[in-house]
Amino acid sequence: MGRGMMLAGALAAGLVPAALHAQAGPSKAQLANAAFVLRVMSSALQSDEVEQPVKNKLFECLYSNSVSQISGAVDKVVAANPGKVDRKDASQMLAVIAGACGYRPAAAPQAAPKK
């Protein structure tokens, strides 16, 4: 039994590097988008202009997800809304990133209807 485990381990070790090389890495565009997402999130976390609930959600999102997962979710939102989001506008991207991370602003209280 010990020999079988060693043989299986040796075979698996031989396959791991091949499997890693078979996976295609991210494209330059994906890396650039992910870098921008990370910059926007980092700036938002340090900004005095961003509300604490947004910062909390961004931090939780970064803690629980990889940058590639967050960037991929943001890419899906942008692709689903062509022409509505300017990727170069950090404030628009922050809104998309926060939404992709699960932030939902509290609903404003509605005024009572006039009688």
Q: According to the model, what pLDDT value does residue 105 have?
A: 86
Cα Rg, the chain, nearest whole Å: 22
* pLDDT per residue as tens digits for the range 50-101: 999 999 999 999 999 999 999 999 999 999 988 898 888 999 999 999 999 9
If one compares 57 and 8, the residue with the highest pLDDT of the two is 57
pTM: 0.70
> Distance between CA atoms of 11 and 13, rounded to whole angstroms?
5
Q: Are 115 and 89 in contact (CB under 8 A)?
A: no
Q: How confident is the model at residue 108 (pLDDT cuts 50, 70, 90)?
A: low
If one compares 53 and 105, the residue with the highest pLDDT of the two is 53
For a pLDDT cut of 90, what percent of the chain falls above it?
61
- Per-residue burial over 35-53, b if 16 or more Cβ lie within 10 Å, else e, is ebbeebbeebeeeeebeee
Q: According to the model, what pLDDT value does residue 8 have?
A: 45
Q: According to the model, what pLDDT value does residue 24 have?
A: 79
Q: How confident is the model at residue 9 (pLDDT cuts 50, 70, 90)?
A: very low
> Distance between CA atoms of 79 and 13, rounded to whole angstroms?
39
If one compares 112 and 76, the residue with the highest pLDDT of the two is 76
